[in-house]
């Protein structure tokens, strides 16, 4: 019925440009993991409740996100009944310790896409960190008694409630400062770093997309992957081989 788009006559406000995601270098990643493990207690600021937790909370969160590539909304929604820290070494083929990433904190609890539902083997460091966190959470549950909220979540406050994303960001920034990496990092950049580190070590874009649950390798290539080498040497190395051979 309308021959033209009348909305085109209006001047729409320009939104603020978001900051592009960055990636940790291998050295920064190692330093952040070490800093998370070394800090005995996380306290964001006086007066805040339910944010004072032993270091194993952020250590496990960082190690799992960085070494397995989980989204922040997937990590905060992860439940213990989706974590298998033993696996089945006697199965054929053997089943390693793993996490089933089938939920997120999005509306209705769905993952971002159908491809995002994936079951990932756990690196040894991540499995160990989750075991320590499980023991720590059991002690907190015993101390909290009737005040404990039985959410079944892996990453919780000291009373079992879901973590507030703002508090996660603040705790992560403190770890980054302690590691000497500055405080301009966000937890979602652990996932970007996972993609970049995988690519840096020669893993194909297709396999990385499968690991992180992308529906398209273009998302992996354009949005997530960052070149970690200061100088790209691939072209020079190949041409040296070609023309040295000739």
Residues designated catalytic: 71, 112, 191, 214, 224
The contacts of residue 164 (CB under 8 Å, 6+ apart) are: none
Q: Report how far residue 130's alpha carbon sits from residue 40's, in angstroms, rounded to the nearest whole number.
A: 17
Among candidate residues 70, 56, 163, 76, the one with its CA nearest the CA of residue 123: 70
Taken in order 30, 33, 39, 43, the sign of the CA dihedral is: positive
CA–CA distance, 163 with 65 (Å, rounded to integer) = 15
Q: Count the neighbouring beta carbons within 10 Å of the beta carbon of residue 82.
A: 16
DSSP per-residue letters across 170-227: HHHHHHHHHTTS-S---TTHHHHHHHHHHHHTT--HHHHHHHHT-S-HHIIIIII---
Q: How far apart are CA 167 and CA 48, in angstroms?
A: 10
Please check whether residue 187 is in contact with residue 66, taking contact to mean a CB–CB distance below 8 angstroms.
no
């Amino acid at each position: 019925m309308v021959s033209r788009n009348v909305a085109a006559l209006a001047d729409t406000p320009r939104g603020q440009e978001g900051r592009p995601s960055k990636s940790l270098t291998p050295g920064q990643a190692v330093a952040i993991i070490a800093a998370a493990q070394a800090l005995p207690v996380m306290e964001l600021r006086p007066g805040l409740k339910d944010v004072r937790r032993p270091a194993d909370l952020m250590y496990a969160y960082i190690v799992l996100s960085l070494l397995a590539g989980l989204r922040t909304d997937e990590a905060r929604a992860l439940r213990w009944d989706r974590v298998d820290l033993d696996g089945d070494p006697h199965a054929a083929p053997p089943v390693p310790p793993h996490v089933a990433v089938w939920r997120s904190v999005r509306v209705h609890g769905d993952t971002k896409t159908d491809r995002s539902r994936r079951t990932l083997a756990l690196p040894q460091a991540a499995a160990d960190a989750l075991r320590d966190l499980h023991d720590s959470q059991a002690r907190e549950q015993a101390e909290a008694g009737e005040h404990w909220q039985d959410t079944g979540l892996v990453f919780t406050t000291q009373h079992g409630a879901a973590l507030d994303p703002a508090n996660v960001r603040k705790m992560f920034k403190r770890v980054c400062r302690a590691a000497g990496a500055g405080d301009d990092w966000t937890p979602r950049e652990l996932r970007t770093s996972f993609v970049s580190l995988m690519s840096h070590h020669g893993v194909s874009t297709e396999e990385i997309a499968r690991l992180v649950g992308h529906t398209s390798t273009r998302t992996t290539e354009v949005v997530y992957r960052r070149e970690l080498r200061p100088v790209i040497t691939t072209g020079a190395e190949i041409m040296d081989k070609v023309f040295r051979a000739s």
